[in-house]
């Protein structure tokens, strides 16, 4: 049974929550140990074009239906940069789960998976129009990332005209994982992604949205607040339902088109989606 996000939040232990999500997602994918220098353990990853078919574990394929290849610790040394949107709109919540809490567990779970396969991990925050290096690559990066995520707070606006990641110029292949609502006033988020997209850089965007943001099934009189500026507006939900739904659909369609960039993948999830299931779909390359 998938771990509910609300249950994971009640644990009040991000490291444990990340392990529970990751173990749930990896259920059925086995790991084993073997001796030898530089081959401290062996794990599995999904087959990719160019891999030697002889490395596929056909017995595991018969049980799981997935093409998995063996990989030792020394073979998995990918640079993974985790980027967390810390603008005020990340405080949006539904059913007792905020977007920030969802993002914290999602990133901690990805960090745990990276830690298990000996990846190089680092964490960045995007807040008040600036990109902040929160945890650099190095020893105990996973524990530092979890600790930083636990104390992270969202506030302010994300407005940036000339986004730049000055230290993202390595030639080494890397993966950037951005978790955000990806809601923008102009095209600031799109420009950000376009500015850092590169052939040796895989960019994965987890766009987290609430059910009401997508479906807007509210009825009656409401006071709505912009979580970034604090501005409020009073509206009759029934009167604006169709307009809001159409605006949301148009915006998401625009994003889908704008982000059809090589090596960029957009994964749209709801706050009600089990995190383990989201990560499983991500790692297997399936649509969620």
Tell me the DSSP string of the chain. -PPPHHHHHHTT-HHHHHHHHHHHHTTT---EE--STT-SEEEEEE--TTS-GGGB-HHHHHHHS--EEEEEGGG---EEEEEEE-SGGGG-EETTEEHHHHHHHHHHHHHHHHHHTT-EEEEEEEETTEEEEEE-SSTTHHHHHHHHHHH----S----SS---TT---SS-EEEEEEE----SSSHHHHHHHHH-BTTEEEEEEEEE-HHHHH----SEEEEE-TTT--EEEEEHHHHHHHHHHHHHHHHHHHHHHT--TTEEEEEEETTS-HHHHHHHHHHT---
Give domain limits for the chain: 38-70, 75-283
Average pLDDT for 216-239: 73
pLDDT of residue 247: 86
pLDDT > 70: percent of the chain? 80
Is the pLDDT assigned to residue 27 strictly greater than 50? yes
pLDDT band of residue 165 (cuts 50, 70, 90) is low
Q: Which residue has the higher pLDDT, 34 or 263?
A: 263
Q: Which residue has the higher pLDDT, 59 or 247?
A: 247
Superfamily of domain 75-283, CATH level 4: von Willebrand factor, type A domain (3.40.50.410)
């Amino acid at each position: 049974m998938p771990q509910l996000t609300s249950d994971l939040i009640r644990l009040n232990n991000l490291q444990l929550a990340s392990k529970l999500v990751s173990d749930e997602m990896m259920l059925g994918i086995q790991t084993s140990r073997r001796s030898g220098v530089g081959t401290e353990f062996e794990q599995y990853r999904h087959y990719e074009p160019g891999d030697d078919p002889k490395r596929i574990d056909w017995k595991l394929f018969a049980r799981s239906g997935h093409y998995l290849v063996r990989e030792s610790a020394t073979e998995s040394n990918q640079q993974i940069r985790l980027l967390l949107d810390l603008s005020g709109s990340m405080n949006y919540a539904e059913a007792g789960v905020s977007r920030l809490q969802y993002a914290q567990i999602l990133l901690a779970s990805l960090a745990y998976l990276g830690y298990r396969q000996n990846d190089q991990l680092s964490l960045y925050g995007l807040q008040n129009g600036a990109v902040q290096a929160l945890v650099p690559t190095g020893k105990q990066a996973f524990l530092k990332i979890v600790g930083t995520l636990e104390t992270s707070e969202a506030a302010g606006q994300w407005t940036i005209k000339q986004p730049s990641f000055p230290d993202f110029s390595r030639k080494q292949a890397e993966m950037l994982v951005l978790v955000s609502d990806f809601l923008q006033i102009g095209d600031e988020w799109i420009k950000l992604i376009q500015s850092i997209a590169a052939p040796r850089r895989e960019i994965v965007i987890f766009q987290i949205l609430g059910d009401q943001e997508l479906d807007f099934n509210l009825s009656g009189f409401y006071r709505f607040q912009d979580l970034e500026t604090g501005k409020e507006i009073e509206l009759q939900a029934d009167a604006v339902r169709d307009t809001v739904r159409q605006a949301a659909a148009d915006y998401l369609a625009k994003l889908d088109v704008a982000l059809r960039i090589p090596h960029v993948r957009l994964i749209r999830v709801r706050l009600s989606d089990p995190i383990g299931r989201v990560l499983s779909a991500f790692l297997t390359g399936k649509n969620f």
